[in-house]
Structures are given as C-alpha cells and as structure tokens.
Amino acid sequence: MSDLNVNTFKARRAEIVKRMDKNSVLLISSAKLVSRNNDTTFPFRQDSNFYYCTGFQEPNSVMLLHSNGHSTLFCRQKNPELEKWDGFMWGPEAAKDSFGFDEAYDINNIDDILPELIRGNETLYALVGKNIDFDSKITNWINSANSKERHQGNIDLKNFSNILGSMRLVKDDEEISLIRKSCEIAAISHRNVMQKVEVGMTEYDLECMYLNEFKVNGSREASYTPIVAGGARACILHYINNNQQIKDGELVLVDAGCEYGMYASDITRTYPINGKFSAEQKAVYDVVLAAHNAACDAAKIGTPCTNPQKTSEKVLSEGLLDIGLLTGSLDEVLENKLFREFYYHKIGHWMGLDVHDDCPYSLDAEEVKFEKGMVMTIEPGIYVNDSADVDDKWKGIGIRIENDILITDDGFENLTSDVPVEINDIENLMKS
C-alpha cells in the first residue's frame, strides 16, 4: 500500500474532476519495468503523476477518470504462479476496493474495453509527451472510438500536464510530512559522512557512505544518482562517474538526496577533504553562501518564483567582482550576463515526488508566484574551470550550496538546515 491514505488519492481525483471540461476523460499510465540487461530489470519506481492520482504501485497499469467523477483502473490480473517469482500482485478486484476505484479491469483487455469507455466524450486529456509509446496507444484508442461515432463529433486530444503540474505545486500536510522526513534522513546522512571523510578516499568511497547512511536512517533509495566530485570535477554539473581519488587540499562537492514515501530530498555541500578550507576556497565559498542566503530570503508568498534567481545573479556578480574573478561594473556584468562563465545554471527547482518536480514555472505566459506549501531547492554555485582566464590559484574550484525550502506564512523554512553551511561550522564538524 501507499504511505498515504486511500482517501488522499480519492480527494485528488475529485479535485482533478473540477478542472476537467464536461464530457471529458483523463488517461494516465503507470511506469514500465525497464530492462537492465537480458532478462533482468532495474528496480521498479512508479511514475510520479500516476502515483499522485492513484497510490497504486504496480507497472502495466492505466487510470481512466471521467469528468463525472467515475474512475477506472486497468492493471495486471492476479497470477499466483508469477507471484512466486515476482511477489504480490493486487489484481483488478482487490485493487478496485483497496484504492477506491469505481471499477477495474485486466490490463490485457484494455484495447477492447477502453475505446468503449471513452466513446461519446468530447475531450480526452493526457500527459502528452511524457510517454511516446503511451501517446501512440491513446491515438489508436481515440481512432477506434471515433470510428464508432459516425454521427457525433470526434474526440479531441488535449494536454493535461500543466493542469496536473499546477496541482502538484502546492503540497498538502501529508506531503510536507513525507518531504520533511526525507530531508531529515538526508541531513543526518550528510553530517555523518562529513565526520568520517579522510584524505585519500575515492569519490566512490564517499558515494557508498552516503547510500549506506540513507538506508541505515530509513530511506531505501537515493532520489537521484549522487554527484561526488573532487577538485576540478566539481565544475562538471552532472558529474556522476564518482571514480577518482580526492587529493589533499581539494574540495569535494557532494550532491545527494534520498526518497522517503516516494518524496525526495536534495542537498549539496562542498567541503575540504582534509577538513580545512584554503584562502581562495574560503573566498569563493563566502560568495556562494551570501548568494544562497539572499536567494532564500527572496522566496516569499506572492512574489514571482524567479526572484531567487535574479537575486542570486546580483549577489554572485558582486562577489565575483570583489574577489577579482570578474572585472568591470556591476551593471555591465548583469546586463551582459558575464557571470555565466562561472554560474551557468538556475538557482533551483520545484521538489516533491520528483527531485525535479514536474510542475510549471509559468502558466498562461505569467510567472508562477510563490504560495504557502510550495517546496523549492536553492542552490547557487561558482565553478572556475581550468580553462578560465583567471589566476591559476582560482582554477579547479567548484562550489555549490543547496538546501530545500518550504514556503510558509512567514517566508520560508529551511528543511535541510541541520547540515552546516558556515565555514567554521563545517570545519568544526569535520574535526569532531
């Protein structure tokens, strides 16, 4: 079963119905098992949108929701022999009762049943572009249904992604509780590893330590492949090779979060493998920290979700000028976006069921404004590549600081504040 009550998912489906046109249906597919090699698969992880609407944790499933509120689930038939190999399967009847659906059918019969269920409706909503194979099946089902309605209008296909995404933007109390727990586990794990690192360790040594800490503290899975980047490799944003030794005097950037109850956390810390920042490392780190703190303060109810980005660009630019990595005036740097040589990503992203939550940043050409219950990461960084036209003492320094913030009535709550960010606090933790 889900970590959430079945009534939570029924309530979500009822809310979705309010956002649908009359005489319409919504189709959402589960995730599929993904082949790893030959006859083995990667561990199954349910599609976040499907889970959000159903709470159902099996592959090869489809939800049909009618604008009149009637809900249908297609799923695998109960198979005791297969269960001996792959584990428990709900089957349509048990799934219908346990997950609050009005009816349920064997997924093997969907091509015969579903066209009849959608026939006569004016609109079919789907998450267009999320799953190309499923999009193709939808087209076939629509064509089959339309072919039987010679005296009525055809069914129009419309994208429901932004509508569902806007629902997922604001987290309810149950979701916040799960995110908070995920953040708590990730924070404990980061602190514990930072106390154990030693010069000479490899990146994969640290990766193993983080993954172990997640599991020991209550999370079965990481929410994404961890980034463990020593030295200049920290300037590669999506570095996941994690296979090099971290040398004395180098910083290590660790971007690692976990899942709890399907909900993600996402933390990045940058610290010296020997426990002591150099003068240049301190200088760059202080700039990133100032940008991080200012960006968090810029996240307030009613303000555009781009405010933290703009704030971070200004503060980072000021800092880069102060320490000499950029030259010229602040206006020139901002107008020409010269800071992008060292800061080439966005300030953060929505977070929830996905670590990069599938939620919009603009709706109807207007920026989304912060509301109570939204969760966003704040993660400014400075990355001085070896190819940069700067003094050699700066080269190879890559620093990012990332926390997960919850928008509240009073501004924001830092859900990952238990992991230190101040230089003195980091160095003291690593000594303990």
Residue 148: C-alpha distances to residues 25, 43, 154 (Å):
17, 41, 10
349 flagged as catalytic: yes
Q: Which of 238, 332, 391, 425 is catalytic?
A: 238
What pLDDT shows up at residue 2? Answer: 65
| Tokens standing for residue 353 | 């069921």
76 is catalytic: no
pLDDT digits (tens, 9 = 90+) for 25-64: 999 999 999 999 999 999 999 999 999 999 999 999 999 9
- Please say if 331 is a catalytic residue: no
For tokens 């102060």, the residue is: 322
Domain boundaries, the chain: 6-167, 170-431
Helices (H), 248-370: 279-297, 307-322, 330-335
Q: Is the dihedral of CA 135, 264, 370, 237 positive or negative?
A: negative
pLDDT of the residue at 365: 86
CATH fourth-level superfamily of 6-167: Creatinase/prolidase N-terminal domain (3.40.350.10)
170-431 falls under which CATH superfamily?
A: Creatinase/methionine aminopeptidase superfamily (3.90.230.10)
Q: What contacts 178, CB < 8 A, 6 or more positions away?
A: 3, 4, 260, 261, 262, 263
Q: How far apart are CA 136 and CA 31, in angstroms?
A: 15
Can you give the pLDDT at residue 432?
84
Catalytic annotation present for 172: no
Which residue in 203, 354, 379, 404 is the catalytic one? Answer: 379
Q: Are 117 and 103 in contact (CB under 8 A)?
A: no
- The secondary structure of residue 153, as a DSSP letter, is P
How far apart, in whole angstroms, are the C-alpha atoms of residue 343 and residue 259?
28
Q: Exactly one of 203, 250, 255, 318 is catalytic; which is it?
A: 255
DSSP string spanning 185-241? HHHHHHHHHHTT--TT-BHHHHHHHHHHHHHHTT-SEESSPPEEEEGGGGGSTT---
400 catalytic per annotation: yes
Looking at 349, 354, 357, 404, which residue is catalytic? 349
CA 268, CA 110: separation in Å to the nearest integer?
44
Residue of 250, 266, 354, 357 marked catalytic: 266
Out of 39, 81, 331, 392, the active site residue is 39
Q: Which of 210, 224, 285, 383 is catalytic?
A: 383
Taking the complete model, does pTM exceed 0.85, yes or no?
yes
CB atoms within 10 A of CB 266: 26
Q: Does the active-site annotation cover 425?
A: no
CB atoms within 10 A of CB 339: 22
Which residues of the chain are under the pLDDT cut of 70? 1-2, 149-153
Strand partners, 63: 28, 73
Q: C-alpha distances in angstroms, 404 versus 172, 296, 345?
A: 16, 10, 17
Q: Both tokens of residue 21? A: 């046109």
Catalytic residue among 175, 213, 357, 402: 402
292 as an active site residue: the answer is no
Q: Assess whether 81 carries a catalytic annotation.
A: no
Determine whether 190 is an active site residue.
no
Catalytic residue status for 357: no
CB 157 within 8 A of CB 140: no
Which residues neighbour 98 within 8 Å (Cβ) at sequence distance 6 or greater? 1, 6, 90
Q: Which of 3, 174, 345, 413 is catalytic?
A: 345
Q: Within 13 Å of residue 216, how many CA atoms lie on the same side as its CB?
A: 12
Q: Is 334 exposed, middle or buried (0-12, 13-18, 19+ CB in 10 A)?
A: middle
